[in-house]
Amino acid sequence: MKAVVVKYTVQPEFAETSAANIEKAMQEYRALADEGIRYQAFRQSDGVTFVHFGMYRDDAALERATAVESFKAFQKALKESGPVSPPSAEWLDLVGSTYEIF
């Protein structure tokens, strides 16, 4: 299993666009119904900082997740928006869980 946390801060005028782009990607992920992908995105209370948490069964699931067209469009728009703090990814090793992830 692979897990990652990605955090970034956008310009205030881009916050709602970023949220809308995330929702488009989430809709496409839900339509895929891929059991090897678990993905969530959150907005912090400042309204401009976003935190994404992804879990992938294996490398192939990660590749499928990053190949989603709306996700690629989200990444491109984020980069072009000139974020205050660009995306920073931290890969995690699972220590334990209260439920079966995959």
Residue 31 is assigned to a structural domain of this protein: yes
Structural tokens at position 66? 């990053």
d(CA 37, CA 62): 7
Q: Give me the domain span that covers residue 44.
A: 2-92
Average pLDDT estimate for 69-82: 98
Residue 101 is assigned to a structural domain of this protein: no
Compute the mean pLDDT over every residue in the chain, rounded to the nearest whole number: 97
d(CA 64, CA 32): 10
Phi and psi at 26, nearest 5°, equal -65, -40
Residue 102 is assigned to a structural domain of this protein: no
Q: Crossing angle of helices 69-80/59-66, nearest 10°?
A: 70
* Structural domains in the chain (count): 1
* 43-70 tens-digit pLDDT: 999 999 999 999 999 999 999 999 999 9
Residue 98 is assigned to a structural domain of this protein: no
CATH of the domain at 31: 3.30.70.100
| Single-letter residue type at 38 | R
* 19-41 tens-digit pLDDT: 999 999 999 999 999 999 999 99
Q: What SS3 class is residue 44?
A: coil
